[in-house]
Amino acid sequence: MLEKCQTSLERWGGVNEIIDNWLEHRRTLISQFVALPGVNVNTLDDHLSTFCTTMMDYLSSGHFEVYEQLLREGSEFNDGSLEKAQQIFPKIQPTTDAALDFNDDYATFASPTVQQIREFSFQLSKLGEVLEERFALEDQLIEILHTAHKDMILENA
């Protein structure tokens, strides 16, 4: 997951400050995610709280900053990119719902039982799959709505 994030940064980094910041935020989220399985049970609640906050910030900035910016940029071109992107958004929503559910269940996780830790481990694995799917969809949005137009934008600047 972290390697894919690095590839995204290399492909789209530097083109737009909002996207750059968002991809950097993604890298932080992934780093926190991959560290969670190795966290001591005594400090798990603190690490989970930090991770969930980072994840909620990432989701919010995607929905309320980045997606809007990408749609605004895509709407300036009448090349079908906006229609392609609108087919991706419904696929992103289930990943948002899954992340929100995880946050609701684990943002506070004080004094977990062994059974709760087992369930957490399973849910963390599922969340990893969901996040990976989400990142791939978001990368498609960037590709369709931003990268395809960046040369035209630079020419007009």
Between residues 7 and 59, which one has the greater pLDDT?
Answer: 59
Q: What is residue 47's predicted lDDT score, i.e. its pLDDT? A: 96
Domains in the chain, please, with CATH?
A: 2-149 (1.20.120.1370)
C-alpha to C-alpha distances, 96 to 33, 61, 105, 131, 157, nearest whole angstrom = 16, 12, 14, 9, 35
25: Cβ contacts below 8 Å, ≥ 6 apart: 54, 57, 58, 61
Q: 84 vs 31, which has greater pLDDT?
A: 31
Which tokens hold the place of 92? 């992103």
> How do residues 68-92 score in pLDDT, each as one tens digit?
888 887 777 777 888 888 999 999 9
Do the beta carbons of residue 146 and residue 12 sit within 8 Å?
Answer: yes
pTM of the entire structure? 0.83
Tell me how far apart the alpha carbons of residues 76 and 8 are, in angstroms, rounded to a whole number.
Answer: 24
What is the mean predicted confidence (pLDDT) over 49-69?
Answer: 94
Q: Is the pLDDT of residue 52 over 90?
A: yes
pLDDT at site 14:
43
pLDDT at 144: 86
